[in-house]
Amino acid sequence: MSSGSSKDEFRSGFVCFVGRPNTGKSTLTNAMVGQKIAITSSRPQTTRHTIRGIVHREHAQLILVDTPGLHRPRTLLGQRLNDLVRDTYSEVDVIAVCIPADEKIGPGDRWIVQQVKQMAPKTTLLGVVTKIDKVGRDQVAQQLVAVSELLGPEADVVPVSAVKGEQVEVLVDVIASKMPEGPAFYPDGELTDEPEETLMAELIREAALEGVRDELPHSLAVVIEEILPREENEDLLDVHALLYVERPSQKAIVIGKRGTRLKEVGTAARKQIEHILGTRIYLHLHVKVAKDWQRDPKQLGKLGF
């Protein structure tokens, strides 16, 4: 069997990117899918839902499962997120460990690899050295060797720059070659199987977190209350969303002086949502305080966790 035969048979399966915060996982997801679907933010723990990006190619279909990051749980929410992660890992075909080219491998990376190997010992591991546009060739080469040593001799390691689009297709091919043969799971043209409300909520959440100090990330949840077409204009959707925070002080941050910040959030999120839905929307955003919701099982359930 020649090495070229891997492309003759259609392959499909599930892949999960793991890595410390800010290692470029979401950016890579978006580069492979070709549209913004995973929320990207420079702040740890912004991904809360298993957003699946779907990569369609002639010879393969890859379903990218974006898990909430692995972390040591401190709250009930943390525990639930970790359980979600554990379930996801055991169900995917490939786990790709993302490590940036411009940072030395540290204890956080080692901890993640150790967790992955414990949770999903049978799943194929793959190394991805991200952000190769930030360093010279020598440093990329050194990092490839280091990642290879970290993961073990069976794991392939691929260097990429999602921002510049370098080697993204090579990575797609390498992942595809490790997938089982089988038909596509989703019709061509679908980019994600997330319900639109979830995507909307994530995009609003991302916009609200942009540029805010560290006191917000975990304390912000977004719930889409309703989506209604305008009676006089069917092409316009009214989207009503609630932003929940834990303390009145956080409510003030989200709203901003005279409501300026909430307006900016609405504008940024609206553009993204319209791009995904292909239709005009009007966003109605309201901020509410739900005291200590992360530690309250009842409230967690209500907010969709």
User: Does the annotation list 233 as a binding residue?
Assistant: no
Q: Domain 11-178 sits in which CATH superfamily? A: P-loop containing nucleotide triphosphate hydrolases (3.40.50.300)
Phi/psi of residue 266, nearest 5 degrees: -60, -45
Work out the angle at residue 31's Cα, subtended by the Cα atoms of residues 35 and 213, and round it to the nearest 5 degrees.
85
Q: How far apart are CA 53 and CA 65, in angstroms?
A: 7
User: Does the annotation list 48 as a binding residue?
Assistant: no
User: Does the annotation list 125 as a binding residue?
Assistant: no
pLDDT tens for the chain, residues 1 to 305: 334 444 578 999 889 888 887 788 878 888 898 876 655 555 554 444 465 688 889 899 998 876 655 555 566 666 666 676 677 777 789 999 999 999 999 988 998 899 888 888 888 999 999 999 999 999 999 999 999 999 999 999 999 999 898 999 999 999 999 999 988 877 777 666 666 778 888 889 988 988 776 556 678 888 888 887 777 777 788 888 999 988 898 899 899 999 999 999 999 999 888 887 778 889 999 999 888 777 777 777 777 66
Q: Using an 8 Å Cβ cutoff, are 199 and 276 in contact?
A: yes
- What pTM value is reported for the model? 0.63
List the domain boundaries for the chain: 11-178, 196-303
User: Does the annotation list 21 as a binding residue?
Assistant: yes
Q: How far apart are CA 109 and CA 97, in angstroms?
A: 9
User: Does the annotation list 195 as a binding residue?
Assistant: no
User: Does the annotation list 5 as a binding residue?
Assistant: no
Q: Do domains 11-178 and 196-303 have the same CATH topology?
A: no
| Domain made up of 196-303: CATH architecture | 2-Layer Sandwich (3.30)
